[in-house]
Structure 1
């Protein structure tokens, strides 16, 4: 068996080296576990996803301004092996090759992000028309190849100028500046883009940037992280409040000025880990619900019910900002479609924190995390220490949103797992764990849909191996292997698995 695997890998490697651009010339056959395009509803969208700083490269070229990540990655020790996204996989210059690979995999759509500092190098004011031209080229080529663009307006890369000018998301000025940027994009690209997304994972932006400070702008109380300034008790809640208002104002402008003519829609990507009670005790069940409220409820409650979860109101008290009446009028019902990013599940148990003067967002949850029960792990661990493979979690998060938030239209907007970055080529192409992950998770997603969840699309994370934030290039999430030395692309087994699974029947 081992010799057969080696022969398969050698064949794939040779084939890929000869024809990596024309990957559609060969089609291995796989057991898709009963999955096919035909078992999903007509019009169900399958796609892949990426973000600007992770894939584009050209970070300080063609007029792009600096983002908060550009300075953060240059601080020794912040990123594994001190890697940066300055070149990454250079999608800026390889976009045609990448779109061709999407077409080869039979994907319908691509979820990409627009780099705010590539459009407005100073956050506001002067437009960088070279950046606009790049996105025009990308969008036009996607449409030429039958790939529907889903544009995300913000994926962590705040223009550095706005952080330095007024503190970024800690100032209410961000609401107007973000909405102005969003409106420019609506006006410039909206004749071709009908699917707009305002923010990727506002919870991550607020918590990792302002509670433990492990992401830029690297703010936190000294008790919670390695930060020089910040306040974990208040700043995460202020930043989240302004993220919510920014989304709502951008959505309002689209609906009032562009929707009638362009006939598009606006959504937001929320991340959601499934929190399973460690035991059947009432205390652990309450703890798991607190975790859900502090995680996804932080954003969905205002969008759907016009207020923060009562759990948060009770625990956070006066530290939790309040919406004015006029703000609530634009916040409530401000999304047309909801994106759910889901990767993993954890056990949660009740763990009330001792009463001290040291408080922060994660501290407010009053929970503990567990990753096994009675000695049995919750799931197989991927390379990233935070990812455990628990397929039933995707069923539970989708069902939870269906039942708690009125069954909105959902796109499963990120889902995937990673392998170590140092798995040698061509062995890295034989990503059987990723194939198994997608098979089991998609089956559970379909089960949730069969039980009534209004899910209309699915995006695999990620399209290609790329700069994986704090992990640099030590983690590979891609369906496409990228050789970081010469930037050549090689489809992995998972890419061919999707190609087969998504084949359309011939008329």
Structure 2
């Protein structure tokens, strides 16, 4: 119906989070989980997330195959998938924490992109999960190979420190599941970055360059879009639009991440676009209306939209007036507004 107007198609958004949140932690419908990740009425956190993930990968392949065989030639569009792309730093400069980072990465983006692009799950996942991790048939592998991505979508917000939980004593993180790690936002009492309004999301702009450059190397510089990146303001029922429109912290967050994205592009990353999350304050799943990511404030009672300072700043950026010599030389984008 919309093929003549839509040129970029995403089969799924953040399937790696859906599999965990719905079938490992029980935070999303249908609310399946089991101990130690939760105490749901139904579910098996050791098995279900990987069956669900496997089926979503095959569903992506089917959708991509239908598009390529029936529509792509006449409509001239492109098809890809968008994944949540967390970045990690070792808590300590030790071999075990460095290996913890490698494991956590494998259980994040490569869980879904390795089968689609490289033909099978990461070796780290196979080693830990063994027969619990489903196998692809030869026919399925051929289909995945034939429907390779036109582009990768990375949704990136923050970076975490990681502590090993295989050789060290610690409680495994429900966010990273069977990677057997603990994610932290502080090292020796010092936060990894400036806190945002969303719990455990910190302003760590250099993570943008690192995550892009890592997947550039892993996936042979497949065309990439930053399909989500943004800053959350916390809210409560007593706050009004005036409390949100002077959002200098959002401007500084976006400008910082764009600066490091520009650095990745200069180093050869084939990044073709960037999308702020989000245009409007919206419903943020389990956070409801509490976390406000929008460039425009929304009064959820009246539906009135009010532009924040970040909307003005981003408009000037898109017009090119903020693409200064400093940015081209690798310096920080100059904020349009500072507090």
Fold in common (TM above 0.5): yes
Alignment partners' CA distance in 2, 1:404 and 1:235:
27
Partner-residue secondary structure (3-state), 2:275: strand
The equivalent residue for 1:457 is 273
The equivalent residue for 1:230 is 43
Where does 1:193-212 land on structure 2 (aligned, <5 Å)?
193-212=6-25
After superposition, the C-alpha distances for 1:260-311 in whole angstroms (9 at most, x for unaligned) are 1111110100111101111111111110000000111101111121010011
The equivalent residue for 1:331 is 144
Confirm or deny: 8 A CA contact 2:185 2:200 kept in the other structure: no
The equivalent residue for 1:426 is 242
The equivalent residue for 2:324 is none
Which residue, out of 264, 280, 296, partners 1:448?
Answer: 264
The equivalent residue for 2:204 is 390
The equivalent residue for 1:482 is 298
After superposition, the C-alpha distances for 1:63-121 in whole angstroms (9 at most, x for unaligned) are xxxxxxxxxxxxxxxxxxxxxxxxxxxxxxxxxxxxxxxxxxxxxxxxxxxxxxxxxxx
Partner-residue secondary structure (3-state), 1:266: strand
Unaligned runs of 5+ in 1: 1-187
Partner-residue secondary structure (3-state), 2:227: strand
Unaligned runs of 5+ in 2: 322-339
Alignment partners' CA distance in 2, 1:241 and 1:353:
29
Alignment partners' CA distance in 1, 2:259 and 2:20:
31
Q: How many residues align?
A: 315
> What's the Cα RMSD here?
1.8
1:361: Cα distance to partner?
Answer: 9.0
Change (3 A) 1:486 1:222: same
The equivalent residue for 2:94 is 281
The equivalent residue for 1:82 is none
Alignment partners' CA distance in 1, 2:274 and 2:177:
33
Where does 1:82-231 land on structure 2 (aligned, <5 Å)?
188-231=1-44
Alignment partners' CA distance in 2, 1:434 and 1:260:
41
TM-score normalised by the chain length of structure 2: 0.89
Highest relative contact order (Cα 8 Å, sep 6+), 1 or 2? 1
The equivalent residue for 2:135 is 322
1:501: Cα distance to partner?
Answer: 1.2
Where does 1:338-357 land on structure 2 (aligned, <5 Å)?
338-352=152-166
More helix by share: 1
Shifted more, 383-392 versus 326-335: the winner is: 326-335
Larger Rg, first or second structure (1 or 2): 1
Q: Which contiguous aligned blocks of 4+ residues in structure 1 show a shift greater than 3 angstroms?
A: 360-363
